[in-house]
Amino acid sequence: MTKLLEAIQIDTAPNPPVSVIWLHGLGADGSDFVPIVRELDLAGCPAIRFIFPHAPTMPVTINNGYVMRAWYDIIGTDLAKREDENGLRKSQQAVEALIAQEKERGVPADRIILAGFSQGCAMTLQTGLRHPEKLAGLLCLSGYVPIHTTLASERHPANQDTPIFLAHGRGDAVIPIDRAEKSRDVLQSLGYKVEWHEYMMPHSVCAEEVDDISAWLKRVLAGKAD
């Protein structure tokens, strides 16, 4: 059985009928995106349980083996050619365990949003597209589709029509925007509904993006208050 990751939880009101599992980037932890809850305009949305899990610690090859929080190892600068498939799949199981926990707490899969930044974005797509039940949405920031060569055969039809928010900075020097554009094209070629956004920013989040995330959340969560 997969050990449940430690996480920070913020409920916007008691007994939330909706959960957002938000995955941080390399070297950060669950606290990294906690401040965004205050910045989002959630007026009209149902109560939301935000869950910010901490990734496990591991040596990261590209950082000279330095041990840090990571969802998977980064072996080299070419993110597509040398991927830590074992690490990705192990973390996928950990995210699945978080989804299962929310279901046990009474939140059905179609009221659970997976969200993530950078490595967390990769994990959102890795897990969400393969999940066997329909999820409410996939919120994907400054990342990419990992091990994309197996996606067509491994994806589950349950999430074929799940809304996907895919955003990236034009000045991103960590994950160049062309990697995100290729991921967008892969997803669209497989028939996914991708809402694409790009911003004049580096590997980060900007105010305009927060506004767009707020609007997307309102659309995705419409009618899920009961």
Catalytic residue IDs: 118, 172, 203
Give the integer Cα–Cα distance in Å for 74 and 65.
10
Closest to 162 in 3D by CA, of 142, 137, 141: 137
Q: State how far the alpha carbon of 165 is from the alpha carbons of 62, 116, 156, 192, in Å.
A: 28, 11, 18, 11
Q: State how far the alpha carbon of 107 is from the alpha carbons of 25, 36, 113, 136, 159, in Å.
A: 25, 22, 11, 11, 17
Q: Give bridge partners of residue 117 from the DSSP assignment.
A: 141
Secondary structure tally for the chain: helices H, strands E = 6, 9
Measure the CA dihedral 147/152/158/162, to 10°.
Answer: 70
